[in-house]
Amino acid sequence: MARKVRRFSGGVYDLALHVVWCPKYRRPVLDGRVATRLDELIRQKADERGWEIIALEVMPDHVHLSVRHDPKSSASYVANQFKGFTSRVLRSEFPHLKSRMPTLWSSSYLAVSAGAVSAATVEKYINTQWERPGKKEEGRS
C-alpha cells in the first residue's frame, strides 16, 4: 500500500497506529451480531474523526485496528475514542454484555506506530488479557 501524506497548515504528516484491545478478562463475546455491529461502530467513529481505517479485524476475544490519524490525536486518545464509544453503544444494544461483565473492555490496550509492531508483541499482549490483577488462572501459559 502506498503511503499517503496529508497536509495541514502547520506541516505534513503520515501517522498510523496499530491498536489492539480485548474484552474484560478476554471473554469471547465479540461474535455474530455483536461483531458486525462493532465493525460498523468503529468505522462510524473513524469517519466522524476524519481517520482512515487501513485494516480492521474483530475476533471473538480481541480487536485489531490499523488506522491513520491526525497529528493532534495521541495514541491514547485514538484508542480511547474507539473503546469508549463502542462500549457505550454495544452495552446499550446488547444487554447480555452489561449483565455478564462489569465493563466491556479491559482497561488496557496496545497502540504501536504502524510498521513497528511484531507479531510476537501483539500475541504477547493478547495472551495476557485473561489475567486478573493479582490472580493467575491455572492451565494458561
pLDDT along the chain (141 residues), means of 10: 61 84 95 98 98 94 94 95 98 92 94 70 71 50 42
CB 94 within 8 A of CB 104: no
pLDDT confidence of residue 1: 47
Interstrand relation of 11-13 and 6-8 (parallel, antiparallel or unpaired):
antiparallel
Strands ordered across the beta sheet of 52-59:
52-59, 62-69, 15-21, 110-113
Q: Which fold has domain 13-127?
A: Alpha-Beta Plaits (3.30.70)
Instruction: Show me where the domains of the chain are located.
Output: 13-127
Q: Is 77 a catalytic residue?
A: no
Burial class (CB in 10 A: 0-12, 13-18, 19+), 115: exposed
Closest CA to 111 of 134, 82, 133, 132: 82
